[in-house]
Structure 1
Amino acid sequence: MTSLANRRSAILLFSLPDSLHSHRTRLVIKEKEISAELHEVDINNISEEIKFISPYDDFPTLVDRELVLQNSRVIIEYLDERFPHPPLLPVDPVARAKFRLALDRIEHQWYPEFNKAYQNGKLEDSFVDKIKSYFIEIIPLINDSFFMSEDFGLVDCSLAPLLWRIKSLGVDMAENKQTIDNYSERIFSRESFQASLTETEQDM
């Protein structure tokens, strides 16, 4: 890798190959067609140069000139404002607030529970029951297109990594299977989603 100190004119993203937070950040970058250098980080072999940028091994980490961001929620909202087209949050303040509530729940409840329940290539049965109940709640919001919208947005970007992993693990969504499969396919068929996958995620 060329010295990062000489590359601050470019947007750099350092992400893990199999992280929910890293995956959604890469998806936002690809959806917005942002010219960024994506660097995959081996958490067990982090260079001193990357440690200087992210001293607490907190990934994803985004570098935009002199700005360094390490929280995926902060990163994706920053990118949505920095590169406004296409917009991934609604313009309407009420809808925007509802999106942010959904994002908050996904990152503080769904993501941590998945990471805790995913062990040795399998999900604990208790989480399977939980994720089914979670999706029952949002079925009316994803039935026809994307989350609360005809347009792809940040909530879809955040649900996508979870849906990809659930699909790879063969989780049966029972009576909601068709709706969730259709919604998932609308996401997975996007060029941006396919481009966001690491080799590790492709092999899931």
Structure 2
Amino acid sequence: MSTASSGNTTSLSTQANLPLQNGLFLYAHPDAHHSHRVRLALAEKDIEYTLILVDPDDRPEDLAALNPYNTLPTLVERELRLFESRIILEYLDDRYRQTRLHPDSPSARALVKQYAWRIERDWLVAADILLTDPSSLDVKKAAAARKALTDSLISLSPLFGHQPYFLSDTFGLCDCLLAPVLWRLPQMGIQLTPNLAKPLLTYCQRLFDRPAFVRSLTAQERARNRD
């Protein structure tokens, strides 16, 4: 394991009884967008934390003790245990107020949360289907999800041409959700071309060029999309 704010990582698969002391600890999948979004938020906020990359097929005993669902990501800070990525993002934004992911205005904050809900419902559900392990992938269901997601991304591409980030001039929660999924489009078998989705592709490159995004990538994620 390693203390990191820059995305440097060390894998852990079977070590149990980790001596969790003061500080922030993140158990994370090395190549899954739900874990990636949390690492991205931590990098954007430049928060020091201990990153524990977990082999999903060989989870350490202490993870089950910390999280009754034994899922990733799991965030630990002193007595606090959080194991749902959106709740983790909410906590980080409230606890560490630098580089805010949510606006301060209640109405603007509610609107961002609603956009985030729609992103998860309309796009990330399809992404989860397509990112299922190939051994359990439903081919017909995946083909339908791929077509629906591709068509939706193309049709809504002009939306990304008005402001630098998702309906905003600054990086925020919705960008934190979208960036890890857009990085995985090749993995999902989705290829967007400039003539159909130039604003979206420009937005993608803007996200991927951010230093925090680069720091958030694990070795597995870098290797997967090296080209």
TM > 0.5 fold call: yes
- Of residues 127, 134, 156 in structure 2, which corresponds to 1:114? 127
Partners of 2:169 and 2:186 lie apart in 1 by 23
- Of residues 218, 223, 226 in structure 2, which corresponds to 1:198? 218
User: Would the aligned equivalents of 2:115 and 2:174 in 1 still touch at CA under 8 Å?
Assistant: yes
Show the counterpart of 2:107: 94
- Of residues 169, 185, 189 in structure 2, which corresponds to 1:150? 169
Partners of 2:68 and 2:218 lie apart in 1 by 24
User: Would the aligned equivalents of 1:8 and 1:63 in 2 still touch at CA under 8 Å?
Assistant: no
Show the counterpart of 2:144: 126
Offset of 1:174 from its aligned partner?
Answer: 6.4
Offset of 1:141 from its aligned partner?
Answer: 4.9
State the identity %: 33
User: Would the aligned equivalents of 2:194 and 2:201 in 1 still touch at CA under 8 Å?
Assistant: no
SS in 2 for 1:68: strand
Structure 2: runs of 5 or more not aligned: 2-14
Count of residues in correspondence between the two structures: 204
- Of 36-45 and 160-169, more deviation after overlay is shown by 160-169
Show the counterpart of 1:77: 90
SS in 1 for 2:52: strand
In structure 2, relative to structure 1, the CA distance for the partners of 1:173 and 1:93 (3 Å cut) is farther
- Of residues 187, 207, 225 in structure 2, which corresponds to 1:187? 207
Query: TM-score by structure 2 length?
Result: 0.80
User: Would the aligned equivalents of 1:16 and 1:41 in 2 still touch at CA under 8 Å?
Assistant: yes
CA RMSD of aligned residues (A): 2.5
User: Would the aligned equivalents of 1:143 and 1:183 in 2 still touch at CA under 8 Å?
Assistant: no
In structure 2, relative to structure 1, the CA distance for the partners of 1:132 and 1:7 (3 Å cut) is same
In structure 2, relative to structure 1, the CA distance for the partners of 1:12 and 1:68 (3 Å cut) is same
- Of residues 75, 84, 100 in structure 2, which corresponds to 1:62? 75
Offset of 1:186 from its aligned partner?
Answer: 0.8
Q: Deviations over 1:63-115 (max 9, x none)?
A: 01100000100000110110111111112323222210121123344222212
- Of 169-178 and 47-56, more deviation after overlay is shown by 169-178
2:77 is aligned with what amino acid? D
Q: Deviations over 1:11-40 (max 9, x none)?
A: 000011121110101100000001111111
Partners of 2:17 and 2:101 lie apart in 1 by 29
1:156 is aligned with what amino acid? D
User: Would the aligned equivalents of 2:31 and 2:220 in 1 still touch at CA under 8 Å?
Assistant: yes
SS in 2 for 1:62: strand
1:6-45 aligned within 5 A: 6-45=19-58
SS in 1 for 2:42: helix
Structure 1: runs of 5 or more not aligned: none
Partners of 1:17 and 1:11 lie apart in 2 by 18
User: Would the aligned equivalents of 2:146 and 2:190 in 1 still touch at CA under 8 Å?
Assistant: no
